[in-house]
Amino acid sequence: MAEAERIIGTPDDTPEAERPGQQRQPDAAAETAAAPPGTTPDAQDGPEAALRADGQPRGRRRIGVLFAVAAVAYALDLISKIVVVAKLEHHAPVKIIGDWLQLQMIRNSGAAFSFGEAYTVIFTVIAAAVIVVIVRLARKLYSLPWAFALGLLFGGALGNLTDRIFRSPGVFKGAVVDFISPKHFAVFNLADSAIVCGGILIVLLSFSGRDPDGTVHKD
């Protein structure tokens, strides 16, 4: 009997992970070690941004948020320009807060805030390149704050690019409609505002260690 037990083995000799009908539970420490060093899930994105064991982000992509924000920014910019051209072109400025803030329509062939008017084509190419980069980056977008930032940047770039393509004096040389005129500052539009706000948010996210894929780098 003792010889038979030695050959067959007793139930207590079988490790728990190898017993039939049972599955080995994942080791939490091993899963934590599998994450890339220096990264943690984005706390503001919740558990959906947690890393899988292979180091890739887990959860919903934020592409829908990006394009929703971009659509709103683009629509507001487009509608405001249509109204401004219809109501303010060839008219005196409209005072909103005395001389400190006025609505005054101008056609700007330069960059944002009327800078670089001699380089219209270059700014057109830059705006198109920004849009392409954002679309490519959207495939790896899991962070909600990054989705808002890129959405603002996308919508603003698309708004001014529309003017470059469709307004006079010609395709890729069109003048952008600007109309927000603070005192002692350049005239700008809603697309410029969206671009600046998106850019500032991107800088803040980068300095805080947040990546578009939802991870956070802690130096």
Mean pLDDT by 10 residues, the chain (219 residues): 45 46 45 48 44 54 93 97 93 90 86 54 81 89 94 95 88 86 90 94 93 81
The answer to whether residues 137 and 211 touch, using CB atoms and an 8 Å cutoff, is: no
What integer pLDDT is reported at residue 13 of this predicted model?
A: 47
Q: Residue 201: what are its φ and ψ, rounded to 5°?
A: -65, -40
Q: Identify the three-state secondary structure at position 177.
A: strand
Strands 101-108 and 215-217: unpaired
Residue 54 falls in the annotated catalytic set: no
Residue located via tokens 């930032």: 149
**Quick one: pLDDT at residue 3?**
46
Give the pLDDT confidence score for residue 215 in this predicted structure: 87
- State the catalytic residue, choosing from 77, 163, 178, 213: 178
Q: Which residue is catalytic, options 42, 77, 192, 213? A: 192
Q: Where are the beta strands (DSSP E) in the chain?
A: 39-41, 94-97, 101-108, 176-182, 215-217
Active site (annotated) includes residue 211: no
For residue 6, what pLDDT is reported? 46
User: Phi/psi at 178 (nearest 5 deg)?
Assistant: -115, 150
**The two structure tokens encoding residue 127:** 């705006």
